[in-house]
A and B are shown apart, each in its own frame.
Chain A
Amino acid sequence: MGRYDFAPQRVHAHATQLLAQKRIANPPPWYNIIAAIPPAERLTRPPLQRSQRPGGKKASRLFKPLRLQYEEDRLRWDYFNDHPWELAKPRVVLEDDGRDAEKWDWSIPLDHALNRPKSGATSEEGVRLDLEWDGIHAQQAGRPINGEAVVQRTNDLLNSGIPSSHASTIALAEFARHQHYTETSLRVAREEALATGAFFGPGPLEIGMMLEDRQYEGWRQWAEKEIVALKQLQGSAYTGQGVEGSGQDAALEGGTVGGEEGLAKE
């Protein structure tokens, strides 16, 4: 083919030719191993899509990669369209061994941490509920409770047979309860810290305002320089000093926005 250079794939054949023509006396060290483990096929395009009909789809779509779609995608679309600021929350995507998704059990409610039974409580069969809760919490306490958790919880509820609107209502209610608890405890902790003498740095809004002020100050100084330059440019179009009271010159001198007073101040 014209645009492709297949020399890397033909390394072994080339060496064989060189040996046959006695251009080299001995084969290179990789000769036998590459003969035993040949390079893979290149530039082939197997059909990737599943053809629905015996005739198959159109050829142009058949050889394009498949679009991967899952049920959770629709739930994510619905949830994050309704709660767009949940996307602004940071999320850790680092995995330990690739099986991290198997760790979390989404049949446990999202507000499980708030539902510890009373100590000593037993079910009808005599099972100690608080100890059972402790066991579950030891495993599942590390679950990240965020928008993705809502989606997974909804999916689990749907798979267990609950109708779709009810499932999302349950999951959202659990999430809201958990969020309310954690936000309140954070706010109380902050108030306690302030009351006992802690001090915090500027928050994001304050830092944003400081950055804007800095930018504005820089712009203002630039603008003043520009005004001076503009005045000089306009003044240089005329030879000699402008006559007092002549219309154009007076307009030029007084025309800048607070220019002379501002400059005098600086």
Chain B
Amino acid sequence: MILRSLLLRHGRAALPKPPSPLRSWRRYLASQVEQIHTNPQSSQNYIPGGTSGTETQAVSSLTTPNPTSPSSSHPDQIKLDWDFFHHQKATTRPLGTSLTPHYKPHELLSNPPRPEDITLELLLASQAHIGHSTSLWHPANAKYIFGVRGREDPIHIISLDATAAHLRRACKVVRGVAERGGLVLFVGSREGQAGCVVKAAKLAGGCHLFTKWIPGSITNGQQILGKCAKRVVNHLDESVPGFEKQLLRRAAVKPDLVVCLNMLENYVLLHECALNNIPTVGVLDTDCNPTWVTYPVPANDDSLRCVQVIAGVLGRAGEEGQAERMRNARRGDYPARQDHGLEAPSEEDVDAEPLEKERALLLAAEAFEDDEAVGVKEGEEGEADHVDSSLTGAEGPEDDGGSVPYERDAAIEGGADGRVEFSPTVEQGSKVSDEEEWDTKAEQESERKPGPGRREGS
């Protein structure tokens, strides 16, 4: 619109000139930068059909952006533009004001601190020392409290020495559990904690939960989480096909360690973990009960910055554990066999096509009657549980080249070639009888179940 009136009113001179080769490649600025590379294709002032074209051409070029024109001019146009953008940024960054290092809130999520970055100053800046009013305290937390501050409405100040020590201890635990192939669940249901919870779970290769914990998800897991995705993975985290039929009846995998960022609201979760002998890590404020968790971290759970620091640090510890586990697995050193209660799949199981077709039909029927709620719940729980399937056996040296999970041709012998390791008698018994109590946690099967909107994944 504007362009049309410009052209009519002022004529050719009003439109910006198209870039000549000379102009593009040598531009002089009144600064120490003498030459800037300009990408002719990405010049924003250029209008196709500019001075010599008609007004309709000029207007149409603006109003109907041609999606194919950037890519049609050069096969790598997008990459060129990207490189040019970064080059421009790097060149012009030192110009102007230089900011001293300061707190950037988004960096707690994009680049969380590491366990070696835990200092008293960091915890102080994150308001980890601020406790609740003295009248609301739990006296069992007395030894984590540095003092009382305030005359009219005094509050407790948490001792940052205790915070740092307990946080480092929790980091070691998370790293060790991740290193041994355990599943860590990060839980933080307050507003604003979703980002750090998801990031920590991603780093540690675990699961996250940022909404309400559904009571019974562990004790009644077969019903509540019975339909969530499950799959079998080998020691290199590659999916192993052929177990879908067995996984159909399985309950969801229970976590090996639970990190809870708001203990008071999630007391049901912590109680279920205690019933099922699952160790827990929790952010302990001055009004929380310290006996609810295995590894308390005395800190301020009301400060989002503090919670993000703690979650970030624990996520980084899990990341280190995962890296160590992968290094060991590639060397052939992976943990001992686990009680998963699975049998080696027979030939028709591995050939999954007819079964997939059957299952797709079954699931389509189920999806028709189920709500979105089931799908949403599954997605939120993130219980795409995976486990190092110890199907490839525990004897490291005897195995040959561990990346091949299972072969149809191999005979199912009781550990004859060291690749397949079953003792069905023991595991069947334990599997069936211990449904209520602590299930053999080692079974980490997951079945890939295509939901209403999901594709059949590998």
Task: Closest B residue to A45 by CB, please name it.
Answer: B142
Interface pair B140/A43, CB less than 8 Å apart: yes
A258 within 8 A of B: no
Q: Contacts A8-B293, A34-B279; is A67 near B148 (CB within 8 Å)?
A: yes
Interface pair B157/A68, CB less than 8 Å apart: yes
Residues of A contacting B25 with CB < 8 Å?
none
Docked CA distance A98–B113 (Å):
15
Interface pair B143/A44, CB less than 8 Å apart: yes
Docked CA distance A36–B157 (Å):
31
Interface pair B438/A8, CB less than 8 Å apart: no
Q: Contacts A43-B140, A45-B142, A98-B120; is A25 near B430 (CB within 8 Å)?
A: yes
Docked CA distance A99–B103 (Å):
12
B417 within 8 A of A: no
A8, A32, A36: residue with the most chain B Cβ atoms closer than 10 Å: A8
CB interface residues, A 95-133, toward B, < 8 Å: 95-100
Q: Contacts A30-B279, A63-B142, A96-B102; is A39 near B147 (CB within 8 Å)?
A: no
A189 within 8 A of B: no
Docked CA distance A36–B176 (Å):
10
CB interface residues, B 258-296, toward A, < 8 Å: 270-271, 273-275, 277-280, 290-296
9-residue interface stretch from B9-17, B230-238, B333-341:
B333-341
Interface pair B125/A96, CB less than 8 Å apart: yes
B190 within 8 A of A: no
Interface 0/1 of B115-158, CB less than 8 Å to A? 00001111111000000001000011011011111010010110
B177 within 8 A of A: yes
Interface pair B103/A94, CB less than 8 Å apart: yes
Q: Contacts A5-B291, A24-B430, A94-B103; is A30 near B120 (CB within 8 Å)?
A: no
Docked CA distance A37–B166 (Å):
11
Q: Contacts A68-B148, A96-B125; is A8 near B172 (CB within 8 Å)?
A: no
Interface pair B256/A37, CB less than 8 Å apart: no
A95 nearest CB across to chain B (Å): 4
Interface 0/1 of B2-42, CB less than 8 Å to A? 00000000000000000000000000000000000000000
Interface pair A24/B339, CB less than 8 Å apart: yes
Which of B256, B271, B295 interacts with A40 by CB under 8 Å?
B295
A26 within 8 A of B: yes
Interface pair A37/B124, CB less than 8 Å apart: no
B456 within 8 A of A: no
Interface pair B140/A42, CB less than 8 Å apart: yes
Residues of A contacting B140 with CB < 8 Å?
42-43, 45
Interface pair A98/B121, CB less than 8 Å apart: yes
A18 nearest CB across to chain B (Å): 7
Residues of B contacting A37 with CB < 8 Å?
169, 172-173, 176
Docked CA distance A18–B278 (Å):
13
CB interface residues, B 175-223, toward A, < 8 Å: 176-177, 179-182
Interface pair B291/A4, CB less than 8 Å apart: yes
Residues of B contacting A96 with CB < 8 Å?
101-103, 125
Task: Closest B residue to A76 by CB, please name it.
Answer: B151
B108 within 8 A of A: no
Q: Contacts A8-B280, A8-B292; is A30 near B125 (CB within 8 Å)?
A: no
A190 within 8 A of B: no
Docked CA distance A64–B143 (Å):
9
Interface pair B442/A28, CB less than 8 Å apart: yes
Which of A34, A39, A97 interacts with B122 by CB under 8 Å?
A97
CB interface residues, B 292-314, toward A, < 8 Å: 292-296
Task: Closest B residue to A7 by CB, please name it.
Answer: B274
Docked CA distance A95–B430 (Å):
55
Docked CA distance A252–B100 (Å):
77
Interface pair A5/B339, CB less than 8 Å apart: no
9-residue interface stretch from A9-17, A170-178, A215-223:
A9-17
Residues of A contacting B257 with CB < 8 Å?
30
Docked CA distance A33–B293 (Å):
16
Interface pair B295/A29, CB less than 8 Å apart: no
B427 within 8 A of A: yes
Docked CA distance A94–B181 (Å):
39
B114 nearest CB across to chain A (Å): 16
Docked CA distance A119–B282 (Å):
61
A262 within 8 A of B: no
Residues of B contacting A243 with CB < 8 Å?
none
Interface pair A68/B149, CB less than 8 Å apart: yes
Which of A6, A65, A66, A73 interacts with B291 by CB under 8 Å?
A6
Interface pair B337/A26, CB less than 8 Å apart: yes
B253 nearest CB across to chain A (Å): 12
A64 nearest CB across to chain B (Å): 7
Residues of B contacting A254 with CB < 8 Å?
none
Interface pair A66/B176, CB less than 8 Å apart: no
Interface pair A8/B101, CB less than 8 Å apart: no
Residues of B contacting A77 with CB < 8 Å?
151
A39 nearest CB across to chain B (Å): 5
Task: Closest A residue to B394 by CB, please name it.
Answer: A26
Docked CA distance A14–B273 (Å):
13
A14, A26, A43, A96: residue with the most chain B Cβ atoms closer than 10 Å: A26
Docked CA distance A2–B121 (Å):
40
Q: Contacts A34-B173, A96-B103; is A25 near B274 (CB within 8 Å)?
A: no
Residues of A contacting B172 with CB < 8 Å?
33, 37
Residues of B contacting A48 with CB < 8 Å?
142-143, 145
Residues of A contacting B438 with CB < 8 Å?
18, 23-24
Docked CA distance A48–B145 (Å):
9
Which of A25, A30, A66 interacts with B182 by CB under 8 Å?
A30
Docked CA distance A67–B139 (Å):
16
23 contacts between A and B (CB under 8 A): A7-B275, A9-B291, A11-B277, A24-B339, A25-B430, A25-B440, A26-B339, A28-B256, A33-B176, A37-B173, A40-B169, A40-B296, A43-B291, A44-B143, A48-B145, A64-B142, A65-B134, A65-B146, A68-B147, A95-B125, A96-B102, A96-B103, A98-B123
Given A23-B430, A24-B434, A25-B430, list of 13 further CB < 8 A pairs? A5-B291, A26-B336, A26-B337, A29-B182, A33-B176, A34-B294, A36-B176, A37-B169, A43-B140, A68-B148, A95-B124, A97-B101, A97-B103
9 smallest beta-carbon distances between A and B, as pairs: A98-B121, A33-B176, A29-B182, A98-B125, A68-B147, A7-B274, A95-B125, A98-B124, A29-B180
Which B residues lie at the A interface, using CB under 8 A? 101-103, 119-125, 134, 139-140, 142-143, 145-149, 151, 154, 156-157, 166, 169, 172-173, 176-177, 179-182, 256-257, 270-271, 273-275, 277-280, 290-296, 335-339, 426-427, 430, 434, 437-438, 440-442
